[in-house]
Chains A and B, each alone.
Chain A
Amino acid sequence: MLRNSKDRFGTVTIVLHWTIAVLILGLLLTGLVMRRTEIDPALQFSLYQWHKSFGFIALGLAALQALRWLVERSPAPPPTLGPMEQMASRAAHLSLIALALLVPLAGWAVASASTLAIPSFFFNLIVIPHLPLPRSETSEAFFALAHATLAYATLALVAVHAAAAIYHHFLGRDEVLVRMLRSGSAPRPDSTISAPEKDDTLVERKRR
């Protein structure tokens, strides 16, 4: 199943989700290392350029994911979720979609507003033009602060998001995590029952 269905995520959504996740975590790590640690200046320069190239990929994929989210239906939340959980998860997912766009856009703005005017040479293949922004120290400092703040806010939200998924998997024992891992039509056997008695599911799990 490439597309989302009424209760399953399609392969496109799943692949985009995990690719973006890996990119964002990698970009957070390179961003942190290149900005906050004492490293060899030549390595630092290279890291900046890799960071920008991979950041553009993250931006492109996040734009695709956002577009998909706008045009495609989202599977209904698993029935195990209460109304509060549904609201919280919808708010978190919306914020993540927005941040996945805003963070790289702010990064692009840093590169564009910087007085260093270092070209963004995407994987040494093509030059991605700078955004039409005033190039000054203040402008650069503003976008650098915005980029860093939004990036670390994303990290915090990703942590909550991942904790929620893990909580649902190991304590809630529902399909929240599993349905973002594989598409297919057969949901997690021990959660389709959606039995109100948690004890039953526990027994069934242990039997496997």
Chain B
Amino acid sequence: MTSLRRPMGAALPRALVALFALAGTPALGAKAPALVDAAGTYRIASSSTVRFSVGQVGGSGGIAGSFTKFSGTFRIDGDDIGESSVEFTLYPESVNSTEGRIEDFLRSSAVFDAVNYRTVTFRSTAVSQTGPDTATIEGTLTVRGKSRKERFAVALTDWNRRSISFTIRGSVRRSPYGMTVGTPIYSNVVEFNMNIRGQKR
């Protein structure tokens, strides 16, 4: 989590600093156009990455993988970042890991039960800015038909007129979703690490 608080990369356009630092503050004079530019609705590009890892007893190792099929949109509210929102769907059958046996197991009824629950969805309920280039998104995660409130930390990494990129991190406890298999050998906590690129619509 501490990594989210790092200062924004120097390569980022200065206007963007203004965008996030002063979102919702109308008296910005010359920098106002950038704000208008970033505001809008974005489609989550398939070039985004959704990676996860689960630690194991004794430290080193564990399960790591990614999902290759997902879709979603988000809207950045230019007037009030807190009014921004995101909808995200991923398809657990697209899970990728170090070997087929692990992928099959993750798809099976023991974990995602991908046959009966084809999607994992996230709908934001609240967005709050936490720093010049960071925010927290709270929302409803639905896995295996069970919905719970989860929180993810967002950090802006890149931005131009047509696209915007974030890293998104979050820790999700899997037991409430009925996915206790493998505990305590494998941690109950799944760490998500995503690079989400939005294509402006």
* A2 located at the interface, meaning its Cβ lies under 8 Å from any Cβ of chain B in the complex: no
> Interface stretch among A10-18, A38-46, A74-82, A178-186?
A38-46
Contact residue among A41, A116, A127 (Cβ-Cβ distance under 8 Å from B110): A41
Give the CA-CA distance A117 to B64 in the complex, in Å.
13
Q: Of residues 89 to 111 in B, which have CB atoms within 8 Å of A's CB atoms?
A: 98-99, 101-102, 105, 108-110
Known contacts A49-B185, A121-B185: A42-B57 contact under CB 8 Å? no
Contact residue among B57, B99, B108, B109 (Cβ-Cβ distance under 8 Å from A127): B57
Q: How far is the CB of A47 from chain B (nearest CB, A)?
A: 12
Please name all residues of chain A whose beta carbon is closer than 8 Å to the beta carbon of B101 when the two chains form the complex. 116
**Contact pattern, A 119-137, Cβ under 8 Å of B = 1, otherwise 0:** 1010010010000000000
Q: How far is the CB of A4 from chain B (nearest CB, A)?
A: 41
* A115 located at the interface, meaning its Cβ lies under 8 Å from any Cβ of chain B in the complex: yes
**Contact pattern, B 62-100, Cβ under 8 Å of A = 1, otherwise 0:** 000000000000000000000000000000000000110
**Contact pattern, B 133-144, Cβ under 8 Å of A = 1, otherwise 0:** 000000000000
Interface size class of A (residues with CB under 8 A): 10 to 19
Are B110 and A119 within 8 A (Cβ)? no
Known contacts A116-B101, A116-B102, A124-B184: A41-B57 contact under CB 8 Å? no
Q: How far is the CB of B101 from chain A (nearest CB, A)?
A: 6
Are A42 and B110 within 8 A (Cβ)? yes
Please name all residues of chain A whose beta carbon is closer than 8 Å to the beta carbon of B98 when the two chains form the complex. 115
Are A119 and B109 within 8 A (Cβ)? no
Footprint of A on B, CB under 8 Å?
56-58, 61, 98-99, 101-102, 105, 108-110, 181-182, 184-185
